[in-house]
Chain A
Amino acid sequence: MRFVDEFRQPELITKAAEEIRRLADPNRQYRLMEVCGGHTHAIYRFGIKDLLPANIELIHGPGCPVCVLPMGRIDDGLSMAEKPGVIFTAFGDMMRVPGTKGSPLEYKARGRDVRIVYSPMDALKLAQANPDRHVTFFAIGFETTAPSTARTLMRARALGVRNFSVFCNHVTIIPAIRAILDSPDMRLDAFIGPGHVSTVIGCRPYEWIAANEHKPIVVSGFEPVDILQSVVMILRQLREGRAEVENQYKRVVPWEGNRAALRAMAEVFQLRPYFEWRGLGSISQSALRIRDEYAEWDAEHVFSVPGLRVTDPKAAQCGEVLKGVLKPAQCKLFGKECTPEYPIGALMVSSEGSCAAFYNYEHRKAAVAVAVE
């Protein structure tokens, strides 16, 4: 696969790993946070940790848009699925996330019309094909995905499709990073920046991290070579006492971002004054809502949602794991009450949730470390 395989070449991976070994100061512990859940997934999938020296620790950040949704919002979305004539659509990532009365897949098994879509445009097409039904789309994602939802709503309006609505749960990445840095129990040396969010917002929004917090941030791609090269760039900055924003993912990320995408978002969305994030609490100006001009397609207008605040079970430590304060295995419920089969929180169900990634790819690795020659 072009533009994929080149960045998985063993020789380049080995070179990058050697350079990391050369640059890392053996007398120092490095704590690097990868913000984006996609990086968490990639790190496990490609076994990146095996290639890093023991004194470089990767901390998983809160960039999993499924993981940060409080259960109450899931319930709100699913309450729409219970209305007669509604087709509830969502990405596959949402399908096993537990609400109070079950996950979307469980609602489907109970006879509700719940369908997976790959694209919000497919949900719109479903609405056009089923004029006597109402199609609602549970929108999730950071700024990577929000422009696509925006364009879909613009298209719905342009075409006059009336039986379509979006339940908007888009969140923004900068407040999440700020919440991490404001957290007293967090000690980090640098950030591996979210490569795909940055195709939309560009690299400028991270400048305060370097300037005010004096931490390097390297915007990174998702292939093994990209992640390792980003670590090389971070180590060079730390070694040279620099704290800058750098773009490792140049082949795809424009420094100024994607103006057309930002325009689409501005047209359709505005910031909510505040939004509840699972584990991080209420954060101001951190999530998007649909503008009044598009109220007709706003599921929160079309349906009356319960809007109940559902707190996680006390013993679940989703918040601390989300912030990177705890490792998944340190949560008291990990592997016992909370497993991919019986998940308590979204971090165990989302494919890029730290707990699921750790469970599926790693938690027996203590034994593997000894065994693998």
Chain B
Amino acid sequence: MTAKTESVSKIRFRDPQIELAHGAGGKASRRLIEGLFAPLLIGPLDEPLGDASHFSMNGTRLAVTADSYVVRPLTFPGGSIGELAVNGTVNDLAVSGARAEVLVVTFVLEAGLPTEVLEAEVRAMAGAAQRAGVKIVGGDTKVVENGKADRMYITTAGIGQTIPNVHISPKSVRPGDQVLLSGPIGDHGITILLARGELDLEADLRSDTRSVLPMVEALAETAAPGLRWMRDPTRGGVATALNELARDCGLAVHLREEWIPLHDAVRGACELLGLDPLHIANEGQFLAVVAPEFADRALAALQGLSNEAALIGEIRSTPAATVVATSTYGGTRIVDMLVGDPLPRIC
């Protein structure tokens, strides 16, 4: 019995204008991409859109992706916009099953931006590229009037080669498959929130920005035949990534709340502000769905590189296309995608 999947082409984008929510990575973003961009630019999709696109050229299987970075503040504990840009693109390729080879970078700079700020970002990008083993080979720069860009916007595009033996697709996911997470969630999003200074909170937290390629390669080495699907839970968090999976494969993702790794300060900030860690952005983590017979060795491989990697749940057949979280005492709740960014609350 095949699970029912939502036909991507049926989504239409009817909003009269673009709102901030359309860039937040949640439901609204989804509608814009699938309802406007994809039908006009790509045409009918036989596979749901992933983090990167794979194509063949003269017999070689390649992958390409692009990403934009609009971050305030530009620098924060653990990193800066430049590092996010490099790692983000490397990661998109990695979780699609490809090893990034080259990146191109475009800058949109606001007139009045101090050179030392720009230079610091460029150095950060060079450092991140070196650590990630990827070459930045070119790019473009535009300067706009003061007030027309939030200091700087960065877009990166990356090309890489597919990792042998890795064939991932939401359609290959089956009930019984295990859901693995590379490490604690929420560090990046909460770090940014605190760095903005509007909430007057202090904590010893850093962005988790890093390349996940080494972990993906370790997974490929130990569990390639059982590796079904991967995604990096950036904006919108784990909740969004898993809801996309659930929707794309038509099955259910069942999470165990107490298995999800979380740093104390992230938990404290989330409780204080009324936020759900599952909705908070991560920049150095990824999710993997693995066939049950490969799960143990896959988890061991991840833990070798990231000791907080954990098994967080499994795939079941019902309820269709839904993410459910269960607590130790048996209480359940549906974990849904948010519409826009998560907002602190007092009620």
Contacts and interface: CB of A to CB of B under 8 A. Distances in A.
Interface of A: 1, 4, 10, 13-14, 17, 37-38, 41, 44-48, 50-51, 64-66, 91-93, 95-96, 105-106, 108-109, 115-119, 122, 141, 145, 224, 340-341, 350-352, 359-365, 367-368, 370-372
B293 interface: no
B333 interface: yes
Contact of B347 (A14, A224, A352, A367): A352
A64 B347 contact: yes
Given A51-B331, A109-B19, A118-B273, A371 B336 contact: no
A14 B328 CA distance: 10
A224 B347 CA distance: 17
Nearest to B19: A109
Looking at A95, A119, A359, A372, the one whose CB has the most chain B CB atoms below 10 A away is A372
B347 A351 contact: yes
Contact of A10 (B27, B319, B329, B345): B329
B332 A48 contact: no
19 contacts: A10-B327, A10-B329, A47-B333, A91-B346, A93-B346, A108-B20, A109-B19, A116-B198, A116-B344, A118-B346, A341-B21, A350-B347, A362-B333, A365-B319, A368-B318, A368-B324, A368-B334, A371-B318, A372-B254
B127 to A, nearest CB: 33
B268 interface: yes
A82 B320 CA distance: 45
Nearest to B346: A91
Given A106-B19, A371-B316, A38 B322 contact: no
B200 A367 contact: no
Given A93-B346, A351-B347, A341 B339 contact: yes
A365 B28 contact: no
Contact of A372 (B264, B320, B326, B339): B326
A48 B328 CA distance: 12
Given A50-B330, A361-B334, A367-B319, A96 B347 contact: no
Contacts of A364: 319, 322, 334
B199 A118 contact: yes
A370 B318 contact: yes
Nearest to B272: A118
A95 B343 contact: yes
A277 B201 CA distance: 34
B245 interface: no
Majority SS of interface residues in chain B? loop
A368 B19 CA distance: 33
Contacts of B332: 47, 50, 365, 368, 372
A341 B345 CA distance: 18
A107 B284 CA distance: 33
Task: List the 9 closest A-B pairs by CB distance, nearest first.
Answer: A47-B331, A367-B319, A371-B318, A92-B343, A92-B344, A13-B329, A10-B329, A10-B328, A47-B332
B318 A92 contact: no
Nearest to B344: A92
B319 A368 contact: yes
A122 B319 contact: no
A66 B320 contact: no
B274 interface: yes
B271 interface: yes
Contact of B20 (A17, A51, A105, A359): A105
Contact of B346 (A17, A105, A141): A141
A137 B198 CA distance: 15
Looking at B273, B336, B346, the one whose CB has the most chain A CB atoms below 10 A away is B346
Given A47-B327, A118-B199, A341-B27, A371 B333 contact: no
A225 B345 CA distance: 23
A51 B339 contact: no
